[in-house]
Amino acid sequence: MNRPLAGFAISGSLVLAACGRATGALSTATPVSSLRPASSLTVTHPLPTQDLVAAGLTRVADLVTSFDISATDGGRAITLIAAYADPARTVLVFRESPDMGVPSVEVNDDQGWINSSTSGGPVRGPGYSGDYYFALDDGPHSGADGLAHLRIGISGLSRWTPAGGHVDGHWDFTIALKVAPGLALAAPAQFKVGAWTVKIETLELTPSVVHLQAVVSGAAPDELSGPGVKYSFLDLLDAGGNPVKVVAAGAGVTVPKQQLNASNYRNSRINYQWARPDAGSYRLRFQGGGGVFTLPLSIQPT
């Protein structure tokens, strides 16, 4: 999903432009539910407020599609109750009966497995036992009909209580989901931050997040993210210098580990997402390699 941006211009605020987009025990699961295109669903059970808050979907509540698709394994039911997707993020919300634990989820679209970092957990609060969210830090590909065709598999669950433990089983779902569009943010294709070189691959605004993916040449992943970093390599700051909430942040090598060598081990790919803020003037601040680089960013009203 990398989308290199051409050009090199640093002056002025960034402007928005339209972007199209870029094992466990033997299972006795019921057959996969028939596919139900998201665009034809009638929303009869809106997602509870606490679910929206836990999954980070409050701002895009109107774009969340409600589902009621269940799968069972050994009498244990999991129901997919909601889903949301944009070019940078995919979020699923499940309801379990009985409450078993955090689901281990794999999501595939028409182009295969969506390989990205993930997050998830329980929806806490009175009356919410059994609700869990799962989020991918990437969006799915849409098909020719404009919908993303997702195959969702749960291969087991991990109990999040202090007692811990694992629940074996398998639950499958198939859905078609509309992907909310994003907007590309104009940015220099490449710039220096001290001794490091940053090459922007994606900088975009989606209904839920501000998303940046880039390759940093000269820096190893542990210099950009993790407990060894004494200050944040990258922040999105508002006009008052206050940081915007981070939704996802990570760094990794740009090649498979078995291909690492002396010439490429200090090339790292970063992926950052911030909760989409209100309209206004912001700036991306890069710190590292002995230098600082600031990129102005203007978010227009929706």
Structural domain boundaries of the chain? 23-178, 182-299
Determine the average pLDDT of the residues in 258-286.
89
pLDDT reading at 278 higher than 70: yes
- The per-residue pLDDT for range 55-80, each reduced to its tens digit, is 999 999 999 999 999 999 999 999 99
Q: What is the pLDDT of residues 184-208, one digit of tens each?
A: 998 999 999 999 999 999 999 999 9
Q: Which of 78-82, 128-132, 173-177, 279-283 has the least mean pLDDT?
A: 128-132
Judged on CB neighbours under 10 Å (0-12, 13-18, 19+), 237 is: middle
pLDDT of 52 strictly over 50: yes
Give the CATH number of domain 182-299.
2.60.40
Distance of CA 163 to the CA centre of its chain: 29
Beta strand residue intervals within 98-220, DSSP E: 102-109, 112-113, 118-122, 131-136, 147-158, 166-178, 182-185, 190-193, 196-205, 209-217
- Among 2.60.40, 2.60.120, 3.30.310, 1.25.40, what is the CATH number of 23-178? 2.60.40
How many Å apart are CA 172 and CA 150, to the nearest integer? 11
Query: Does the pLDDT at position 46 exceed 90?
Result: no
pLDDT (0 to 100) of residue 164: 85
Q: What is the arithmetic mean of pLDDT over 220-248?
A: 87
- Asked if 23-178 and 182-299 have one fold, the answer is yes
**What is the per-residue pLDDT for 8?**
29
- Name the residue among 263, 294, 288 with its Cα closest to residue 197: 288
At 36, the pLDDT band (50, 70, 90 cuts) reads: very low
Exposure on the CB side of residue 214, measured as CA atoms within 13 A? 28
Other Cβ atoms less than 10 A from the Cβ of 161: the count is 9
Q: What is the pLDDT of residue 228?
A: 64
Hey, what's the torsion of the CAs at 112, 137, 92, 158, to 10 degrees? 90
Least confident of 43-47, 74-78, 225-229: 43-47
Q: What pLDDT score was predicted for residue 232?
A: 84
- What is the pLDDT, as a whole number, of residue 230? 64
